[in-house]
Amino acid sequence: MEVTLRRLLIVLSCVLGLLSLPAQAFDSFRVSDIRVEGLQRISPGTVFNFLPVQVGDQFTQYESERTIRALFKSGFFKNVRLERDGDVLVVVVTERPAIADIKIQGNEDLETEPLLDSLKDIGLAKGRVFDRSLLEKVELELERQYYSRGKYGVKIQTTVTPLERNRVDILIDVSEGAVAKIRQINIVGNKVFDDETLLEKFNQSTPNWLSFYTKDDQYSKQELAADLETLRSFYQDRGYIKFAINSTQVSITPDKKDIYITINISEGKQYKVREIRLSGELAVPPEKLYPDFQINAGDVFSRKRVTDTVTRISKTLGNEGYAFANVNTVPEIDEKTREVDLTFFVDPGKRVYVRRINFAGNSKTRDQVLRQEMRQMEGGWFSAEKVERSRTRLQRLGFFETVNVETPAVPGATDQVDVNYSVVEQPSGSISLGVGFSQTSGIILNGSISQDNFLGTGRSVSVSLNNSSYNSVYSFSYNNPYYSVDGISRGFGAYYRSTNANRLNITSYSTDTFGSNLTYGFPINEFNSFQFSFLADSLKLSTSQLASQEVLDFINRYGNEFLSFGLSTSFTHDTRDRRIFPNEGGVRRVSAESKFPGSELEFYKLNLTLQQFVPLTRLFVFELKTDIGYGDGFGNFSEMPFFENFYAGGVRSGSVRGYEDYSLGPRDSRNLPIGGNFRTVGTAQLLFPPPFLTESNAVRLSLFTDVGNVFAGAGDWSANELRMSVGLGAAWLSPVGPLTISIAQPFNDQSGDKLQQFQFTLGAGF
């Protein structure tokens, strides 16, 4: 009502402007001059630009109406009056005020800066001429945006305060109100599936114990539309082709706090597939396309499986060079028998070849480094899968902040494209000094000089040191991932490590080790790789007065200085989408390390790691991980050296949280942990981002269950000896280094176990 009244006043103002002309003004006269009165900020030249009449023109009633309309249309004036002074046309105007400032308050859901930017786009901004009609549009648009967020109780009040020099301040006061909650969802007309089965597919629901986090009880028109499409897909994926949503009613209570939704549906009858046909121009043998069929004769009709079939056929054709293939499904429905005949019609188009692969943005990294990651070849058939895989491999190098790819058609050719990769380089080298802390290691000092893309060759060089209360490490490493054109990598390194185990609260001893290695890596395919390393090290074992009898017996039997050579091998199957905080995929790794017979140390170690990430929703990921390790001595050694033992317990050993680091398993004669040669540990956890950082890739929370222990030998393994815990964890890639925190509650601990419910580490790797 208020909006209509304002518009009416504007119209009346225009009419009064016309009526205000003296009667003699409508007598035609020739304009000898034009005078403008009432201007404050606007220049006379601006007014003359809008005037449809000029000096020397014959001024009539028609011209007067045109003049008033033109000046009002400019938007600069709230009142216009025409007068005559002899043959001089006098234009008397009252300017609209200028906007001195705009303030928005009370808005929590909508950020202020984007709102001010959007107001500026429509002409409502500081320094602009104030137009009340625009302010009214802003009010309506803000209400619409809050309605879309389920806040139907929103109240928006605008205040215009006049200031000196014909200016105004605008205050937009927003009272957002509470989000309307869904109190009930009714589905009417369902007979085959009950309400519970259907509603559990919806993203929106009535309030539950997780709603404070998921916000799934807050009504949204867009979310409802998505849920209705989910409902339609649910039925059509189960053969109900004729399923229909007849109507949807959304009602709100008078206090605008509760929402009631009613959905009326018609299920129809279930249909089965009678016959499957492949038609059109088959550019590849049908035998290559048959494995792509996800639906067959006799199956219940499923829209999802039909869509999957179309996608897979298109992908197969695309990988054969038919980049623009078009596959359509033509259904023929038999109403009497409730059966469907499906024809997949294939139009492959022309086979497309790649003319050139171009790179841009790599000012430091050599083209050759990028080309070695390419799976799509120049001159070969275009394959969208290979082009995308090449982009992923470039992104995984770690040299580039972003990698984009375009495939423009070659001018004048209908069967050729270029593949253009554009990269934005990021620093791949670092000089760093850092300080970290963990409950077990105490203060950790570390520093490194590293370059992962040395001179733009893709090779890595690193010199680093790490100093904690129990461990000091100085190392140098070099790796060339492009040692051969077949993707074989080669690296080597040297290190010195000094360890004081007594500082770890395990059996007392210390070691000084010099070592070196030569490593080769062999890619088998995109996801599988094999690696082996030649190892050489010299180790000196020292004891103190606190040494246990087990340590002293070992030294008496084998000595305390050892020069040894060995071999380490591993096979890895890695399908993770990312190496840090992955959302899907997994790792399967089998590794083995053994000293050569005749070395002064003779032992071997085997490890099996299984890790899988399963996305449950956009925010939640389920992780399952198992790690099994076994080792033993051979030759002159009847046992694995105690300083090579496996340990369990705590975040540092990567096993059962809630117990002190390295505290589980066998103990020595001084009742200190000494580890064992067989370890089994496992973790199941639900991973999710913090509630207010759902788009962050730097923080991740977890609800976890850990289980495991370490045993003196494989024959000593017992399920009754496994320790378990549950808890909440957090991992953060902080600016000062990775931070991990866990709060765990052991629930089958036994007498003598050392518990540590709160654990954290900063400045060490995950």
273-295 pLDDT tens trace: 999 998 888 888 888 888 888 89
pLDDT category, 735, cuts 50, 70, 90? low
Query: CA-CA distances (angstroms) from residue 461 to 49, 493, 520?
Result: 70, 10, 16
239-255 pLDDT, tens digit each: 999 999 999 998 988 88
481-521 pLDDT, tens digit each: 888 878 889 999 999 998 888 777 788 899 999 999 999 99
DSSP 376: S
Angle at alpha carbon of residue 96, lines to 94 and 101, rounded to 5°: 145
Instruction: Tell me what pLDDT residue 662 has.
Output: 87
Angle at alpha carbon of residue 722, lines to 716 and 726, rounded to 5°: 165
pLDDT category, 448, cuts 50, 70, 90? low
For helices 132-148 and 2-19, the axis angle rounded to 10 degrees is: 160
Supply the pTM of this predicted model. Answer: 0.61
pLDDT category, 364, cuts 50, 70, 90? confident
Do residues 128 and 98 touch, judged by C-beta distance below 8 A? yes
Residue range 429-762 in CATH 2.40.160.50: yes
Give the CA dihedral 529, 530, 531, 532, nearest 10 degrees: 180
CA–CA separation, 582 vs 596, rounded Å?
37
For helices 221-236 and 303-319, the axis angle rounded to 10 degrees is: 90
- Reply yes or no on whether the pLDDT at 440 is more than 70: no
Instruction: Tell me what pLDDT residue 8 has.
Output: 46
Residue 54: CB atoms within 10 A of its CB come to: 10
- Reply yes or no on whether the pLDDT at 434 is more than 80: no
Q: Which residue has the higher pLDDT, 361 or 694?
A: 361
For domain 272-347, give the fold.
Answer: Ubiquitin-like (UB roll) (3.10.20)
Amino acid letter for position 562: F
Give the mean pLDDT of 312-318.
88
Residues 6+ apart with CB under 8 A from 34: 48, 51, 53, 54, 55, 88, 89, 91
Give the mean pLDDT of 676-684.
96
In CATH, the architecture of 181-266 is: Roll (3.10)
Give the mean pLDDT of 328-348.
92
Give the mean pLDDT of 208-235.
85
Q: Which residue has the higher pLDDT, 211 or 740?
A: 740
Instruction: Tell me what pLDDT residue 18 has.
Output: 45
Give the mean pLDDT of 104-128.
79
Instruction: Tell me what pLDDT residue 24 has.
Output: 42
Give the mean pLDDT of 707-724.
93
| Of 185, 181, 152, 183, nearest in space to 256 by CA | 152
Residues 6+ apart with CB under 8 A from 419: 354, 356, 357, 358, 376, 382, 387, 405, 406, 407
Do residues 661 and 650 touch, judged by C-beta distance below 8 A? yes
> 3-class SS at 530?
strand
Share of the chain above pLDDT 90, in %: 35
Do residues 335 and 311 touch, judged by C-beta distance below 8 A? no
CATH superfamily of 98-175: membrane protein fhac (3.10.20.310)
Instruction: Tell me what pLDDT residue 5 has.
Output: 45
Give the mean pLDDT of 463-468.
73
- Which CATH number fits the domain 2-95, given the four candidates 3.40.47.10, 3.40.50.170, 3.10.20.310, 3.40.640.10? 3.10.20.310
Give the mean pLDDT of 12-41.
65
Structure tokens at 471: 């461990």
For strand 678-688 and strand 699-711, is the pairing parallel, antiparallel, or unpaired?
antiparallel
Q: Which residue has the higher pLDDT, 140 or 705?
A: 705
DSSP 381: B
156-196 pLDDT, tens digit each: 888 889 888 788 888 888 888 878 889 999 999 999 999 98
- Reply yes or no on whether the pLDDT at 420 is more than 90: yes
Query: CA-CA distances (angstroms) from residue 611 to 10, 138, 575, 576, 710?
Result: 71, 53, 10, 10, 19
CA–CA separation, 333 vs 723, rounded Å?
60
Per-residue DSSP letters for 275-342?
A: EEEEEE--SS-HHHHGGG----TTSBP-HHHHHHHHHHHHHHHHHTT-TT-EEEEEEEEETTTTEEEE
Structure tokens at 715: 């024959």
Do residues 428 and 461 touch, judged by C-beta distance below 8 A? no
> 3-class SS at 113?
helix
Task: For the chain, give every domain's residue range.
Answer: 2-95, 98-175, 181-266, 272-347, 353-425, 429-762
CA–CA separation, 667 vs 551, rounded Å?
12
CATH code for the structural domain at 353-425: 3.10.20.310
Same CATH fold, 272-347 and 181-266? Answer: yes
Q: Which residue has the higher pLDDT, 221 or 669?
A: 669
Instruction: Tell me what pLDDT residue 538 has.
Output: 95
pLDDT category, 764, cuts 50, 70, 90? very low
Rg (CA), the chain: 38
Do residues 203 and 280 touch, judged by C-beta distance below 8 A? no
